[in-house]
Each structure stands twice: as structure tokens, then as C-alpha cells.
Amino acid sequence: MTHPHQHNRPEGAPVLKVTDMKKAYGAIQAVGGVSFEVRPGEIFGVIGPNGSGKTTLFNSMLGQITPDEGKIELKGQDVTKCGPLELNRRGVGRTFQTLQVFGKMTVRDNLIVAAQEHHGSMFSRMFAPSDSGLGAKADALIDQFHIRHVAHKKAGELSYGQQKLVDIAMAFMSEPDLVLLDEPCAGVNPSLVGGISTLLKDLNRTRQGSFVVIEHNMDFVMDLCHRIMVMVEGKVLAIGTPEEIRSNKQVLDAYLGN
Amino acid sequence: MKKLNLFITLAVLAVFLVVPSFLKNYGIHIFTTWLVFIIATMGLNLTVGYAGQKSLGHAAFFGIGAYTVAILLKAGFSFWLGLPVAALICFFTGLALGFPALRVQTIYLAFATLGFNTALWLVMRNEEWLTGGTFGINNIARPSLGGISFDGNLAYYYLVLVFTVVLALLLWGLLRSPWGKAFTALRDNAIRAESLGIDTRGYTLLSFAIGAVYAGIAGGLYASQVQFIDPALFTVGASIMMYLMVVVGGPGYFLGPVLGSAVGVVLPEWLRFAQAWYLFIFGAAVVMLMIWLPDGLLSIPDRIAARRASREASAARAAAAKAAQGVQA
């Protein structure tokens, strides 16, 4: 199988640069010295068995926890100690492993609230129109995600798969430079997995954003990502293209196991 | 649905405009009290219903407002100075009370605010030099403005009505602005809200502060209405009652406080014949409401709509299944 974006693999100064990151919980070294870069426009996959430190790494990049050692840089600026709010304002969007839509708001309002705080000050927003002038942008994403028929329904009333789509769309509303996707396929019906993959490729192509994807669905990761990092026991086992990872003997032994 | 809401709002307004002019003094007093509690619970509805912060200290702000206006009037200042000062003090006290909410949530926050209410009540009771202690403050004057005296009960009622309408419009504007969505996002999922750049700290603090301003203005208006205040009006019990009004009316529904305050203020008058049984009836009604209508009285139309939608959806599924069977056969 040839990889869809293999021939235009992105290059340039990294959007995200993680240097020698370490985080321990008591005696357990969850992440023990991880370094990698995500380039502009790149879809970067992170895989590894349970307990390999993916989530700890992810939470550090999102400002949920502060690493013990190491450095995280976003577009050349040190953001190691930034919290989730600050990181979002600096251009990091995310999705969650479990559903996190605002159930009592309509789908369209979910999208609008996902970007409204990026416009003006808190005070000026008091006098801003209800949709913060983001209606057209929300509608464009609604069409791109094929959720037009439920746009005015409350998000909590939708099916799991539809809510997952809303959740992903929300991460893109504020036009982030970097989007961290935490298991976008978890709990999703197999027929929708292909749809999500296509959507993410489209978004990557049209918006030139960089994505970091954690996912257990191997076919999905191999098909979607430009490069993949394999983690085992808090360390990087290998970084490479899907083909390189697939044929890496260490990875096969440690993880893929077939 | 929007037209229905507008119609109901106008009908409610018409009742408030017309009915009191046909009532005797006691009826006017009940209507004025109803409006005062609508203002106070509008603020609490913002804190509790829209922003999701469990506050059991609202009567403290009501008390701060009442005492500020009463003390300033006694010191010879104008009501029109007293009320903004009361609102300002409540804003900053509310902001301060918001800080615990940044650390604790749900029942723990409720306890923290309850403690605040108790502390403030003790100040009102013990600092006799300022508040008159348990004797309270009496002969609180009613205001006049540009030659119009609001001394008469009906005139004062209409003054309170103007305050209610203006404050309701301001709140409506705020909730329609992006702030409304930010508050709802904060209530439904604070972690997600933060990941979308919503300053959850700021909105939490301001939901307390703005809610407190409404309580403070209501308290100031109440002091001039009843012309006598003492600490017994501002106990934790009063805070719980206001919380119940919000919950019964429908937290997060704009008109919830109108209905909730009616249940808290007007209903006791209608249930007067029940005498000592009143609290039993009221308590039992609240228990039943929480079992069958946990989102308050105003959630009834939404529930009917949701039931209809799910019935239609299941009918559509049944039809689709039947069609699929037909294809197979």
C-alpha cells in the first residue's frame, strides 16, 4: 500500500518541539526522556501499549501537568509551564478521549463557543453579537463534517458518533496551528472511522495545521499519519514513516507483535 | 417556541403592570416583595442556573444591600447614592466569595458560601454600633426623584417594577452575548471550556459578582419597601429559600425566577388557610418536584418536546426496520 501523503512530507521549522521530557509519579517513571518534533502541516502519530506514557506525554503538551524535566516549545516559544487556557490562546486545539461536548447547547453553538474567546476582550464580548460573528465559519465546518441535519439540535441528543464529530470540529474552530487528537476513533463505529480519517486528511490539507494523534486503531494511524512515534515504557522506541515503523523489527517485537 | 416565550413574557409584564392597581395595600406589599425576590433570584439564577456554581450565601448579599441602603439613609445620604454603593460593595464581596469556587465545587462550595452567610449574619447581629444588632434599623425612608415621591405603596411598587424590568433586560442582554455561552460552557464542562480558551476563573468570579449585585439591589429596594430590617431576614435559611426558588422555577431558564419567587412569596399567602401545615405542604411539593421535575417547573415544555422527538425517532426507526424486513423478504 502506498501512503497518500508520502511524496509531500512536510518540512520546515517545527511547530512543536519536545526535548528530553521526563515525568515520574513516585517511583514510576511514566515518561523517561522523550524528544521529538512536529513539523508544519504534519500529522504525527503516537502509538504504544497501555502504560507506555502516551497519556502523560499528551497531558504535558496540553498543560494539564507540568513535566519534571525537559522543555516543550510551540513555534519556538517555551510553553513548558503554560496551562491549558494559555496554550489554547497560543494556538493549540484538542479533542478528548471521552466525549466532551456541551450537551445542552446546539451543535452550532458548541462550535461558536469553541472559538468566541479568541476574539476581542472579555469586556468587548459583553457587547458582541450572540454568534460573535463566527456563524459563517461554524456553518462551513458543519458542512465539512456533514452534520448539517443536526446543526440546530442539542449536542447531548445526538448519537455517539455524531457527538464525536462535533467534538473534533470544535477543536478546529479557532484555527489552531496544532491540534492534539486523543483517540479520535475510540468507541466509534467502524464505518465512521474511514470518514474521520478522510475528514482529518482534508482538514490537514486545507488548513495546513499540524496534528498529533494518539490512537490504538493501527490501520487508522498507518493510513493517516506522515510520521509515527512508538513509545514503550516511557521511552521512544522508534520514529519514522508508517513504512519504516511497519518494517522495524524492534517495533514488531515490542508492540505490533505479528 | 420563541414567539410563545415572547407572548408569555408580555403576559407576565401585563399582569405586573395592571393587577396591583386593583389591589389593597397588603396585595401591593405581596407584589412588591415578589418583584424584589425576582431581582434577587435572577442574580442567583445566573450564579447557580447558568454558571453552575452552587451558592448558599445569596441572602448575605441581599442583607449587605439592605443594610448599606438603610445605614446610608440614616446617615443622611440619598437613596440614589445608597443603591449604587450597595451594588458596588456586593460586586466586590461577590468577587471575593468567588475565590473559594476556584478551588472547591458542588457541595463543598455550597458549604463555603453557607459559612460566609453565617459569618455575615453574625456581623449584622453583633455589631450593634453599625447595624443596630438584633433591634435592627427602623423608619427607613422611601426615595423620591425629581419631585416624584415614591412614598406611597403603589408608587413604590412601580419604581421596583421599573428596576426589575431594566435589570431583567440587562441580564437578558448579557446572556444573549457570548458571555451566556461561556457561562453555560463553564457549567456543563469546565475542563473542556478551558481547553477552548474560555477563562473559567474570570467567568466563575464574575458569575458570583454579578449575581451578588442583583441581590444587593434587591436588598436595598427591600429595605425601603418594608422600612424595617433586622438580621433575622438574612439567615442561611433565607439563602436556602432563595436557592429553592431558583431550583423550583427552573435553573438556567430566564423566567424561572418569576415562577420560583411566586412559589416562595405568593404561594405561602394562598396557603395561609393551611396554617402550620404550610411548611409541610411546601416541603412535600418540593420533594415531589425534585423527583419528577428535577429541572424545575419551566422544564415542562422542554420535556414534552423531548418526549415527542423521541417518539418520532422511534417511530422512524420502526418504519426503517419494517422497510428493511420487506427488502429481505
Task: Give B140-166 as a DSSP string.
Answer: PPPPEETTEE--SHHHHHHHHHHHHHH
With beta carbons less than 8 A apart as the criterion, state whether A212 and A46 touch: yes
Residue A129 dihedral angles phi and psi, to the nearest 5°: -65, 160
**How far is residue A94's CA from residue A39's CA, in Å, rounded to a whole number?**
17
**Whether residue A87 is found in the same domain as residue A183:** yes
CB contact under 8 A, A174 and B196: yes
Å from B26 to nearest chain A CA? 40
**Chain A touched by B192 (CB under 8 Å):** yes
Say yes or no: A16 and A44 in one domain.
Answer: yes
Residue A6 lies in a domain: no
Q: Using CA atoms, how far apart are residues A124 and A138, in angstroms rounded to an integer?
A: 21
Predicted confidence (pLDDT) at residue A7 exceeds the cutoff of 70: no
pLDDT tens, residue order, chain B (329 aa):
678 888 989 999 999 999 999 999 999 999 999 999 999 999 999 999 999 999 999 999 999 999 999 999 999 999 999 999 999 999 999 999 998 888 888 888 999 999 999 999 999 999 989 998 889 999 999 998 988 999 999 999 999 999 999 999 999 999 999 999 999 999 999 999 999 999 999 999 999 999 999 999 999 999 999 999 999 999 999 999 999 999 999 999 999 999 999 988 988 888 877 777 877 887 888 888 888 888 888 888 888 888 887 888 788 778 877 877 765 55
* Count of CB atoms situated within 10 Å of the CB of A169: 23
Residues A224 and A257 in one domain: yes
Q: Say if A4 falls within a structural domain.
A: no
The C-alpha torsion from B264 through B266 and B270 to B271, rounded to 10°, is 10
Residues A196 and A143 both lie in one domain? no
With 0-12 / 13-18 / 19 or more C-beta atoms within 10 angstroms meaning exposed / middle / buried, residue B49 is: buried
Nearest to A21 by CA among A44, A41, A37: A37
What is the distance between the alpha carbons of residues B189 and B1, in angstroms, rounded to a whole number?
27
Chain A nearest CA to B174, separation (Å): 6
Among A112, A125, A157, the residue with its CB nearest the CB of B179 is: A125
Q: Would the pLDDT of A12 be above 90?
A: no
A127 has a pLDDT exceeding 50 = yes
A161 and A181 in a single domain? The answer is no
Chain A residues touching B253 at Cβ < 8 A: none
pLDDT digits 0-9 by tens, A69-108: 999 999 999 999 999 999 999 999 999 888 899 999 999 9
Chain A residue numbers touching B194 (CB-CB < 8 A): 83-85, 88
Specify if A96 maps to a domain. no
Task: Verify that A222 and A253 share a domain, yes or no.
Answer: yes
Q: Which residue has the cell 493501527?
A: A218
**Cβ contact A84–B198 (<8 Å):** no
DSSP designation for B297: G
With beta carbons under 8 A apart, name residues in chain A contacting B174. Answer: 126
Helices (H) and strands (E) in chain A, counts: 10, 10
A-interface mutation test, from B95, B170, B192, B299, most A Cβ less than 10 A away: B192
pLDDT in tens, B230-251: 999 999 999 999 999 999 999 9
Closest listed residue to residue B82, CA positions, set B69, B63, B95: B69
B182: nearest CB among A62, A84, A113: A113
Mutate to test the interface with B, among A113, A127, A173, A179 (most CBs of B within 10 A): A113
B147 touches chain A (CB under 8 A): no
| Residue in A with minimal Cα distance to B183 | A113
Name the domain boundary from A174, A207, A232: A174
Distance from CA of B49 to the nearest CA of A (A): 13
pLDDT at A256: 59
Do A78 and A109 have their domain in common?
no
ipTM over the 0.90 cut-off: no
CA geometry: angle B309, B186, B264, nearest 5 deg: 75
Residue in the block written with cell 455524531: A162
Shared domain for A118 and A78, answered yes or no, is: no
Partners of A103 on chain B (C-beta within 8 Å) are 188
Judgement on whether residues A79 and A147 belong to the same structural domain of the protein: no
Q: How far is CA B34 from CA A4, A52, B31, B41, B257, in A?
A: 68, 61, 5, 10, 10
Mean pLDDT of A169-192: 91
The predicted pLDDT at position A49 comes to 86
Contacting residues of B for A127, CB less than 8 Å apart = 177
Query: How near does any CA of chain B get to the CA of A249, in Å?
Result: 38
Residue A209 maps to a domain: yes
Structural domain boundaries, residue A137: 101-174
Residue (of A228, A107, A212) closest to A157 by Cα position = A107
Residue at which a domain ends, from A174, A205, A238: A174
Supply the pLDDT for residue B53: 93
Kindly report, residue by residue over A198-245, the tens digit of the pLDDT: 999 999 998 878 999 999 888 899 999 999 999 998 999 999 999 999
Residue B202 at interface with chain A, using a CB cutoff of 8 Å: yes
Domain boundary among A151, A174, A197: A174
Contacts of B191 in chain A (CB under 8 A): 84, 100
CA–CA gap between residue B59 and residue B65 (Å, rounded): 10
The CA-based dihedral angle spanning residues B54, B57, B59, B63, taken in that order and rounded to the nearest 10 degrees = -140
Q: Is residue A245 part of a domain?
A: yes
Residue A10 confidence (pLDDT) above 70: no
Q: Report the C-alpha gap between A88 and A79 in whole angstroms.
A: 11
Q: Residue A19 pairs with which residues in a beta bridge?
A: A71
Inter-chain touch B176–A105, beta carbons under 8 Å: no
The per-residue pLDDT of chain A, averaged, comes to 89
- For B73, half-sphere exposure in the C-beta direction (CA atoms, 13 angstrom radius) is 27
Q: Please judge whether B176 and A130 are an interchain contact, meaning their C-beta atoms are less than 8 angstroms apart.
A: yes
Chain A residue with CA closest to B252: the answer is A104
**A168 and A112, same structural domain?**
yes
Domain-located, residue A109:
yes
R_g of chain A, CA atoms, integer Å: 18
Same domain, A118 and A169: yes
Per-residue model confidence (pLDDT) at position B317:
77
Calculate what percentage of chain B has a pLDDT beyond 70.
98
Q: Has residue A76 been placed in a domain?
A: yes
Distance between CA atoms of B39 and B164, rounded to whole angstroms? 6
pTM for this one? 0.89
My answer on whether A183 and A256 are in the same domain is yes
Total domains in chain A come to 2
Q: What are the chain B neighbours of A116 within 8 Å (beta carbons)?
A: 178, 181-182
Q: Are B189 and A88 inside 8 Å of each other by CB?
A: no
Task: Tally C-beta pairs within 8 A across A and B.
Answer: 84
In 3D space, the residue among B224, B199, B242 whose CA is nearest the CA of residue B43 turns out to be: B242
Q: Is residue A38 part of a domain?
A: yes
List the single residue in B with minimal CA-CA distance to A172.
B196
Question: Nearest CA to CA, how far is A167 from chain B (Å)?
Answer: 10
